[in-house]
Structure 1
Amino acid sequence: MQITAAVAAETGGTFTLERVTLDDPGPGEVLVEIAGVGLCHTDLAAKDGHLPFPLPGVFGHEGSGVVTAVGEGVGKVRPGDKVALSFNSCGRCTQCTANEPAYCQEFMARNFAGARPDGSATLHRDGQALGSEFFGQSSFATHALAHERNVVKVPDDAPLELVGPLGCGVQTGAGAVLNSLDCRAGSTLLVLGGGSVGLSAVLAGVVRELGRIIVVEPHAARRDLALSLGATDVLDPAAGPLPEQVRAITAEGADYVIDTTGIADVLGQAMLALAHRAKVGIIGVPADPEAALALNLIQAQVLGVRVMGIVEGDSDPDVFIPELLELHRGGRFPFDKLITTMPFTRINEAVAAQHRGEAVKIVLIPGDQS
């Protein structure tokens, strides 16, 4: 079918809305009419060459919408179902069978290769293959082909246009608190970066009834938003050395640290503000793929520090997204407060606005032409 998609032609370039051809769903595939798609840092990191993906191509991996057709063998959803789209996984490897699909042994191939596992593209322009299958969906478009593995049926009362970010950014931040680090009630959490991932961690920290939630963020508006969402303290990194600012709040240091910045120097400063037996979760994608954390080995031993990389909040989307929606229904996880909507046609303006810090999480609405 002919659809409209935001095509990235070259590394570091802008998006161009173009008419392209999308395949019919094959075995195990699901065709979704997109109601909304989140603009995520990972989309832009891949477009700018910090993560692998073939160009020209179509990004987008926080889509949501309505199933319009399914391929052979699909039984999980049917046409008319409302769904959120998430990351793709193989379903067969050791990690997938242990219900840890975020660490699928085929994660890079299934989400960044730009084609199906058999090498075929799902998107074409003028007969030429485009990079497609980004996170198994490429949902910067009016329609997307996803897979039975990475679609999650959502209730009819879910805010369909807004649920896409639950498939990546929101579940990553919330899952870091509730799954990966399993933060204990009454403890102290230090969040580096007040973007959508960091503020989702704040929301989850409130759910977990943490004692202190400290957010480090250079934008004043985001610091204010963090406080309104339940952060107990906010810090401006320009106000002084981070370890001193943190220990002025809690002399023992932070029990948990979540880094969403991908900036080694920022995380290095946070390592000097740790409590004994602290856990550190690394989420942010660095601009430099060779970026490394300098870890003081004696300090790590004396404090009993545990450092872990986190992908997708250690989430199984089929389980975790419904849990987050149930919390939202009960008023305990207001992720919609992070979201600003814009017409899909204004995708380049949205990228600029999010870069300037004017919005935390922008969701692009294909049907909105205003």
Structure 2
Amino acid sequence: MPVLALDPCVGPITFLCDLASNAAGSAAAGASDYVLGGLGAAFIDAAAQIGTGALTALDALTPIDLSVSWLRDNVAVIATITLPVLVAFFVLQVITSVLRREPGGLARAVVGVGKAILGAALALGVTQVALTAVDELCEYVAASAGTSVAASAGRFFDFAAPVLTTSPGLAILFGLAMMIGFLLLWGVLLFRKAALILLAVLAPIAFAGSAWDQTRVWTRRWLEIVAALVFSKLVIVVVFVLGASAFSGVGPSTSTSNASEPPGIAGLSDLLVGLLLLSIAVFAPWLTWRFVHWSGMEAAAVMNSAVAAGPITRGARSAGAQTRGLAQHAATTMLLGHVGAAGAAGKAASAGKAAGGGATPGPVRPSAPPAATTAGAARPASAPPRGLGGGGS
């Protein structure tokens, strides 16, 4: 027998039940919005603090001084350790050149030692000049645009945008993305500084590889990596400053073409463009290294083709080809002469065996007289000379 369920919300009490249920639903929705709004605001505040620190590091905390005493003392210690390595590479290059009979290898060994000594002595100074020049270029780029890196980035990363304050879900999503991006950018800046200091200390070892053909790539790799790290800061500044100038029509405060768009859509576009620029800035060292490596390989290929197409190189190549042809012709003639002599000796031995009837060969007999002197003996006896037979008949 089914049990009857009693509904208390019957009759005049229905209004009170509906009011209680609506109040409970409103309280739950309010609590949910309060919690999500608090989380979104916390993410946005954290992103703002990290972004301010990263942009401040880009503006003021990344200059590198390679002239400090402790760094030069470490470089001197590494140079002292590298001296036996340089001598060993020079000896290996000389031994390899002698075994290959390559005079050019000896010249490369001497030139490589000179490059190693000169490069180790000038590495710190040249790198410091390049860093100072890049810092000045960054300031010039920002001043030319009438802004700074922090101001240009702030054009996109408006942490008080309406789209973030009205939508807790988007606030959490974009806050997390901005935190990750700015942390990576800050890490890239700190890595650039530490890597440049380490590479400056290891410069004597990198240049010592110039003395041996097998380690010559050390010098080229060191130059490529140092150039990529030095110019990566300029790439980051250009990305933010010129990117802000290129996308100046995106922001609602500076745009006339987007005046008809809702503020939320324009603010969302700003954030998306800012995240895109931030991603490019994070990968700036890698992109710079790829460009430096590609341009270096292209320059080397152009130089090799230009040298190969020169008249001196063509003359040397043609002279070498003629010398090789003459040497091959002389070797072929000598080989054919030896083969002919061996063939004649073989024929003489065969004729001696045939005359001896297969007996043990005795002393070598003189060769038969020429055919012209034995022509008369070869005629038969029954055939007299023509002058004698005519008178008897």
TM-score by length of 1: 0.21
Considering fraction of residues, name the structure with more helix: 2
The structure carrying a bigger strand percent of its residues is 1
Q: Which has the larger radius of gyration?
A: 2
Q: TM-score, normalised by structure 2?
A: 0.20
